[in-house]
């Protein structure tokens, strides 16, 4: 036990003031026997309380002394005379002394102190065990969450890496599609590999759409719109349909269409447009 | 407690008390009456009632002096505890409690009496200063526990503070009282 912490807790003061429960008192008494420094501290505390009592000292009336002594009987001051002890005329019930118990403990008291200590210790260990268990459960569920996050990130990273690899190829052209609605931050980017005619569209700067609508990408080839496929808002990267005519495309545009797409673009709902 | 030539050691006094020696009880009464009466009249009023209690306490001491264990602590401490516990029991089992109920915290400030307990060699003015230097919260805790027999839980409830605060304030207050004996 850390006796300094024990002393600093103030429990000895409460013991001296008689403010502890009988169980707490027994604990303190067991500790007093085990640690002499606690007993020293308690002695000092009691001195402080004596001073407090002393500050309150007050003389009772002088007549009281005779009144009290008339009610008591005393042995003759003869040391040999052990004979019949005269009891006081007033028989009083036993004094109840709350804070101060005899310093010695019998074997039984030692055992009970040990039992109490054991009870506290086992209770504490049980409590600690359940704390550890719940900590382990917490950590396990945290780990699961992190695992999921990690898997998601890995997918994103792989696709980003793929995009980066594609974009860095000299045959990949980048076509910016700028807003046609006046919203400056609305835009899309097309990456087109002019050798393989693979087209990807990067659209995470387009607004969300209601569930019954989708974006549709169009390529303008010789003035005719060609359907490049539909996609939902905020799907960051989409591979699109590919066909050889794309080599002659002059522009790309994205319109908002009913879910599933339209055979012809609804021009008044054009969101972004970019010429090659 | 400074003992006179009659009882150079506390255990001599106690031994004589156990033998129901009259001179020993007179000595006991003369030396401790003011301290014990101070405690009692702080807890029980009016003074006439307090004197009745002092009589009861002294008779109790007379009957129970064998129970005093010198290895546990000093006679003074034992007497203070017998007195306090008797008063607390009396307060809790009687109407005196109701009379005292309406006291405000200001009334808890100890009344400093000029008739200080003679056996103790401390500067009286210093004593008074010290007790008065306790902050009200510290003083209230000590008074509630010492004079009214409150448990720590009761003090926490009455003062609306956490149990831990009760402990630390009690400690801080008594540490202050202890400096009485540290100063030469």
**What are the average pLDDT values for consecutive 10-residue runs of chain B, which has 184 residues?**
57 89 92 90 87 94 90 83 88 61 42 35 55 81 83 90 90 83 52
Peptide bond into B46 cis (omega under 30): yes
- Using an 8 Å CB-CB cutoff, list chain B residues near A52: 110, 131, 142, 146, 177
Per-residue pLDDT, B157: 92
Residues A113-124 have pLDDT tens digits of: 788 888 888 888
Per-residue pLDDT, B139: 85
Question: B170, A50: Cβ pair inside 8 Å?
Answer: no
CA distance B148 to chain A (A): 10
C-alpha dihedral (A135, A138, A144, A146), degrees to nearest 10: -90
Report the distance separating Cα A56 and Cα B26, nearest Å: 22
Looking at the complex, does the CB of residue A37 fall below 8 Å from at least one CB of chain B? Answer: no
Q: Which of A18, A9, A32, A42 is nearest to A109 (CA)?
A: A32
Residue B179, number of CB atoms within 10 A of its CB: 13
Residues of chain A with pLDDT below 50 are 78-90, 99-100
Question: A48, B78: Cβ pair inside 8 Å?
Answer: no
Contact between B81 and A99 under an 8 Å Cβ cutoff? The reply is yes
CA distance B179 to chain A (A): 8
Q: Which of A97, A17, A18 is nearest to B57 (CA)?
A: A97
CA distance A35 to chain B (A): 14
- The interface pTM score, or ipTM, of the predicted complex is 0.72
Q: Which residues pair with A217 in a beta bridge?
A: A254
Per-residue pLDDT, A236: 61
Q: Which residues pair with A188 in a beta bridge?
A: A177
Per-residue pLDDT, A237: 64
- Is the pTM higher than 0.90? no
Instruction: Supply angle C-alpha B93, B145, B32, rounded to 5.
Output: 85
Per-residue pLDDT, B181: 59
Question: B174, A54: Cβ pair inside 8 Å?
Answer: no
Token couple for A161 = 């890496």
Report the distance separating Cα A203 and Cα A189, nearest Å: 7
CA distance B90 to chain A (A): 12
Token couple for A212 = 């019954």
Q: Which of A25, A53, A89, A93 to mutate to test the interface with B (most CBs of B within 10 A)?
A: A53
Per-residue pLDDT, A106: 67
Question: B127, A51: Cβ pair inside 8 Å?
Answer: yes
In three-state secondary structure terms, A237 is strand
A residues 112-171 near B, CB within 8 Å? Answer: none
Looking at the complex, does the CB of residue A102 fall below 8 Å from at least one CB of chain B? Answer: yes
């Amino acid at each position: 036990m850390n006796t300094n912490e024990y002393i600093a807790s103030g429990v000895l003061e409460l013991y001296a003031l008689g403010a502890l429960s009988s169980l707490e008192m027994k604990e303190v008494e067991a500790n007093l026997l085990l640690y002499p420094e606690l007993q020293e501290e308690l002695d000092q505390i009691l001195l402080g309380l004596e001073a407090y009592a002393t500050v309150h000292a007050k003389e009772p009336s002088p007549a009281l002394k005779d009144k009290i002594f008339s009610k008591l009987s005393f042995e003759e001051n003869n040391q040999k005379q052990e004979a019949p002890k005269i009891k006081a005329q007033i028989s009083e019930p036993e004094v109840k002394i709350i804070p101060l118990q005899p310093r010695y403990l019998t074997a039984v008291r030692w055992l009970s102190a040990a039992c109490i200590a054991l009870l506290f210790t086992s209770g504490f260990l049980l409590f600690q065990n359940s704390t550890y268990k719940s900590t382990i459960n917490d950590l396990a569920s945290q780990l699961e969450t992190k695992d999921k996050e990690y898997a998601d990130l890995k997918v994103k990273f792989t696709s980003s890496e793929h995009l980066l690899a594609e974009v860095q190829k000299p045959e990949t052209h980048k076509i910016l599609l700028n807003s046609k609605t006046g919203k400056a931050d609305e835009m899309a980017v097309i990456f087109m590999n002019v050798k393989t005619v693979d087209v990807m569209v990067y659209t995470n700067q387009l607004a969300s759409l209601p569930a019954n609508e989708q974006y549709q990408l169009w390529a303008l080839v010789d003035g005719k719109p060609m359907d490049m496929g539909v996609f939902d808002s905020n799907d960051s990267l989409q591979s699109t349909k590919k066909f050889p005519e794309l080599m002659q495309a002059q522009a790309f545009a994205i319109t908002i269409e009913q879910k599933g797409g339209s055979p012809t673009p609804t021009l008044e709902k054009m969101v972004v447009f970019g010429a090659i | 407690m400074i003992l006179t030539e009659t009882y150079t050691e506390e255990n001599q006094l106690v031994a004589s008390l156990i033998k129901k020696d009259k001179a020993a009880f007179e000595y006991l009464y003369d030396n401790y009456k003011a301290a014990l009466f101070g405690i009692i009249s702080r807890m029980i009023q009016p003074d006439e009632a307090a004197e009745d209690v002092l009589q009861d306490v002294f008779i109790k001491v007379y009957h129970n002096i064998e129970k005093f264990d010198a290895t546990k602590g000093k006679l003074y401490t034992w007497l203070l505890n017998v007195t306090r516990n008797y008063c607390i029991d009396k307060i809790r089992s009687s109407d005196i409690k109701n009379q005292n109920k309406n006291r405000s915290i200001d009334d808890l400030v100890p009344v400093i009496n000029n008739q200080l307990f003679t056996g103790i060699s401390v500067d009286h003015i210093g004593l008074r200063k010290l007790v008065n230097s306790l902050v009200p919260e510290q003083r209230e805790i000590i008074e509630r526990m010492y004079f009214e027999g409150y448990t720590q839980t009761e003090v926490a409830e009455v003062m609306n503070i956490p149990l831990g605060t009760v402990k630390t304030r009690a400690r801080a207050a008594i540490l202050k009282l202890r400096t009485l004996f540290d100063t030469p």
